[in-house]
Amino acid sequence: MSPKRFFAELKRRNVYRVAVAYGIVGWLVMQVAATVVPALQLPGAVTSVVVLLTMLGFPIALVLAWAFELTPEGMKRTEEVIPNESIARRTGRKVTALIVIAAVVAGALLAFQFLRTKSSRAIVQKSVSPTPAPGVIPHKSIAVLPFASLSEDKANEYFANGIQDEILTRLSKIAELKVISRTSTQQYQSKPQNVSEIAKQLGVAHILEGSVQKAGESVRVNVQLIKAEGDSHLWAETFDRKLTDIFAVESEVAERIASSLEAKLTGREKEAVNYVGTKIPAAYDAYLRGIALRNTQSREDQDRLIQFCRQAVALDPNYAAAWSDIAVAEGLKYIQEERSEAQRTLVKEAAENALRLDPEHGSGHAAMGMYLYYCLQEYDKALVELQKSREQAPNNPLTLQAVGLVKRRQGKLDESIELQLQAAQSDPLNQDIWVNLGWSYRGMRKFAEARAMFDRALAIAPNDQSILGRKAETYFAEGDFASAARLIEQLNPGPADPRYFARIRILASQRKFDEAIARITSDLEKEKSLPGFRSAAMHLTLAELHVAAGRRDQAQPFLLKADAELNELARANKSPDASWLSLEIHALLGRRQEVEREAAAYIAREAKDRWSGPSAEADAARAFAILSDRDRAVSILERLLAQPYAHSLTPAYLRMDPIWDPIRNDPRFQKLAEIKP
């Protein structure tokens, strides 16, 4: 057959059309696989298999197109088809239609991917911008600066803070307003000189200033609304009231602000703005003392907040707002340090009381949502409650952030980041929001974006060592020792500090085992009152360093010491979840059955949480690596490296951490350690 006739026959048999159609459809199949496989948490190898099968199918499709032809009676070999029975042209038109449809779908998918990438980058760039872009500040926006306390008794300063917070709470119910959270305004003076600059930094068009003077049962509240552009005072008013009438003052101020900013209140919003939580002055006073401590980070202040709010509900058991603050504060205590049944019961009781007493104004549903989130890991139910709270108090950025964090636990990271960025618009100087954004990007292994978020947090709190530590870890996760070490040197954390082991990790990764051992040994001698859990972790680390240095006999005493300390804590029921520590102790002591049993229970316990939960699998992989169980360790690692999660492993960690030495020569492990993050 001559070349000219051959190519003509290729055209007649629709081989060209089949090749084009297969190429487009095959590309679509591979794109779907690349999206669906990670979402279903399937092994990364599944995507590779789909790509391989698609490529292998291409020559097969061409051979079939050449060798067979579709006829009214079905498929026949081309040589058996009589020319006047051939419907190749009709088949060709169908294949052409398929090509057009597939091309349209492919084009739409390409456009979607391009726009999504562009939008994601724009969101990050916008979030890093120190101030909102000119011309985008909405007219119906306001920041309430800290109220000055003019009381002779300096102990009454809490009262001024509380009045500011209560006015903000009322404004948060009005959907048409943009209201900046107290977390972002508390750093400013009550009557600053540069009002327009502050408004620009916060992204608002109006500023409310005020002062409070309390003497016995009498209260004087001065407020003035300022339009930032031109620093013009729109109105000012003084309220002289009895303590029992203070709710009316807060409501009147909120309504007048809404009127001045031309925000129309719905009937429900008007009722919410005028809602009175308690009619008992002493209960309200105790509550104000408590909420003045909301934005502090120390455990002591959070315990004092709980104490004051419990005083409030003792005086007025129907005080729903106080029950709500108790639920949130006790919930934080549960998730951070005291995961006991008794502590969970305290959270449940407070949340149920808050919701039962006030299901209409946001705080009750918020309290129940946080209970479901913190204590039960019932994320779908938590979202239902938090969404109801958002509907009732649409300007509360903390509720919006909580929704974002719950979605992060569900593995919906893109949605989570978008919601956190929205929360930052109403709370731009809340470092916790920027830290959580940085952590979200870090979990996705987007290190540049993560550092941009941490830098935004450091601009607010430049001396916060925990943020510096998180930023340093991003460099370490990429394998950049030098940058990580420079930041770690600025911290100089002690043994009781969570960032202590970052320095040890760098030394171990540089194979400076004896230097790391000397440092820990010296610090243990200096610190005689370390918490039991911290002491156990340090003894385990000493054991790991001796094993890595080839001195397993010297590791044994430290392992037994760590094991005894952990058992003592378990008997006293004073230990946080120490499963990761227990797994490594069992593995280093050669207790395979204990490792398998505890790993299975640990992974099952954390399975609901798709953000922090995969860390349980990572801890299990470390234990199996110590036991030289290559198959189980590598199988877990393959899955983890293909998905984002809180403390996501990276190839750099596999290369540098000596814990993986027992399986380092496995070709599968070596391949994982070489891939780009």
The whole-number pLDDT of residue 432 equals: 92
The whole-number pLDDT of residue 44 equals: 47
The whole-number pLDDT of residue 489 equals: 82
The whole-number pLDDT of residue 127 equals: 38
Structure tokens at 418: 């978008």
Q: Of 63-72, 239-248, 573-582, which gets the smallest average pLDDT?
A: 63-72
Residue 173 resides in a domain: yes
Q: What residue spans of 133-245 are helical by DSSP H?
A: 157-171, 182-185, 195-202
**Which residue carries 């950025």 as its tokens?**
397
Phi-psi region of 135 (alpha: psi -120 to 50; beta: other; left: phi over 0): left
Structure tokens at 145: 């600066």
The whole-number pLDDT of residue 7 equals: 62
Q: Please check whether residue 633 is in contact with residue 598, taking contact to mean a CB–CB distance below 8 angstroms.
A: no
Judge if 360 and 227 occupy the same domain: no
Q: What is the mean pLDDT of residues 225-253?
A: 88
The whole-number pLDDT of residue 356 equals: 96
Q: What is the mean pLDDT of residues 570-599?
A: 86
The whole-number pLDDT of residue 92 equals: 60
The whole-number pLDDT of residue 120 equals: 40
Judge if 160 and 86 occupy the same domain: no
More confident residue, 34 or 207: 207
Residue 92 resides in a domain: yes
Judge if 271 and 328 occupy the same domain: no
Q: Please check whether residue 566 is in contact with residue 585, taking contact to mean a CB–CB distance below 8 angstroms.
A: yes
Judge if 378 and 272 occupy the same domain: no
Domain finish residue from 254, 276, 298? 276
Q: Give percent of the chain above pLDDT 70.
A: 83
Judge if 159 and 112 occupy the same domain: no
Give the residues across from 141 on adjacent strands. 178
More confident residue, 326 or 157: 326
The whole-number pLDDT of residue 402 equals: 95
The whole-number pLDDT of residue 131 equals: 39
Confidence of residue 21 (pLDDT cuts 50, 70, 90): confident
- Strands 178-179, 232-242: pairing kind: unpaired
The whole-number pLDDT of residue 6 equals: 63
The whole-number pLDDT of residue 9 equals: 65
Q: Give percent of the chain above pLDDT 90.
A: 56
Confidence of residue 155 (pLDDT cuts 50, 70, 90): confident
Residue 236 resides in a domain: yes
Q: What is the mean pLDDT of residues 71-76?
A: 59
DSSP notation for 488-514: HHHH---TTSTTHHHHHHHHHHTT-HH
Does residue 213 have a pLDDT over 60?
yes
Confidence of residue 116 (pLDDT cuts 50, 70, 90): very low
The whole-number pLDDT of residue 572 equals: 67
Q: What is the mean pLDDT of residues 279-286?
A: 93
Judge if 584 and 509 occupy the same domain: yes
Does residue 198 have a pLDDT over 80?
yes
More confident residue, 207 or 59: 207
CATH number of residue 327's parent domain = 1.25.40.10
CB neighbours of residue 39 within 10 Å: 10
Give the residues across from 211 on adjacent strands. 148, 222
The whole-number pLDDT of residue 123 equals: 37
Our CA angle for 241, 245, 248, nearest 5°, is 105
Judge if 113 and 241 occupy the same domain: no
Structure tokens at 566: 């952990």
Alpha-carbon distance of 617 to 628, in angstroms, equals 16
More confident residue, 382 or 463: 382
Our CA angle for 188, 439, 504, nearest 5°, is 105
Judge if 82 and 148 occupy the same domain: no
**Which residue carries 């909580």 as its tokens?**
402
Alpha-carbon distance of 515 to 512, in angstroms, equals 6
More confident residue, 22 or 598: 598
Confidence of residue 70 (pLDDT cuts 50, 70, 90): low
Residue 403 resides in a domain: no
Does residue 87 have a pLDDT over 80?
no
**DSSP 3-state assignment of 213?**
strand
Does residue 2 have a pLDDT over 60?
yes
DSSP notation for 315-378: H-TT-HHHHHHHHHHHHHHHHHT---HHHHHHHHHHHHHHHHH-SSSSHHHHHHHHHIIIII--
Alpha-carbon distance of 169 to 276, in angstroms, equals 12
Residue 413 resides in a domain: no
Our CA angle for 653, 657, 661, nearest 5°, is 120
Q: What is the mean pLDDT of residues 452-458?
A: 96
- Strands 218-227, 206-215: pairing kind: antiparallel
The whole-number pLDDT of residue 401 equals: 95
Alpha-carbon distance of 407 to 610, in angstroms, equals 10
Does residue 141 have a pLDDT over 80?
yes
Cβ-count burial of 267 within 10 angstroms (0-12 exposed, 13-18 middle, 19+ buried)?
exposed
Residue 259 resides in a domain: yes
Judge if 382 and 334 occupy the same domain: yes
Q: Of 153-157, 379-383, 647-651, which gets the smallest average pLDDT?
A: 153-157
Residue 258 resides in a domain: yes
Domain finish residue from 276, 296, 319? 276
Does residue 78 have a pLDDT over 70?
no
Does residue 76 have a pLDDT over 90?
no
Closest residue by Cα to residue 567 from 593, 592, 539: 539
Confidence of residue 128 (pLDDT cuts 50, 70, 90): very low
Alpha-carbon distance of 677 to 551, in angstroms, equals 33
Alpha-carbon distance of 565 to 383, in angstroms, equals 39
CATH number of residue 257's parent domain = 3.40.50.10070
More confident residue, 160 or 530: 160
Structure tokens at 166: 């209560």
Does residue 67 have a pLDDT over 80?
no
Does residue 632 have a pLDDT over 70?
yes
**DSSP 3-state assignment of 233?**
strand
The whole-number pLDDT of residue 101 equals: 75
More confident residue, 514 or 29: 514
Domain interval for residue 98: 3-126
pTM: 0.76
Judge if 650 and 505 occupy the same domain: yes
Mean pLDDT of the chain: 85
Residue 638 resides in a domain: yes
Confidence of residue 306 (pLDDT cuts 50, 70, 90): very high
Number of domains forming the structure of the chain: 4
Alpha-carbon distance of 184 to 429, in angstroms, equals 4
Does residue 404 have a pLDDT over 50?
yes
Judge if 161 and 120 occupy the same domain: no
Confidence of residue 450 (pLDDT cuts 50, 70, 90): very high
Q: Of 124-128, 214-218, 410-414, 633-637, which gets the smallest average pLDDT?
A: 124-128
The whole-number pLDDT of residue 60 equals: 80
Does residue 85 have a pLDDT over 60?
no
Q: Of 34-43, 52-61, 143-152, which gets the smallest average pLDDT?
A: 34-43
The whole-number pLDDT of residue 258 equals: 92
Domain finish residue from 233, 248, 276? 276
Judge if 514 and 593 occupy the same domain: yes
Within 8 A by CB and 6+ apart from 62, the residues are 15, 18, 19, 22
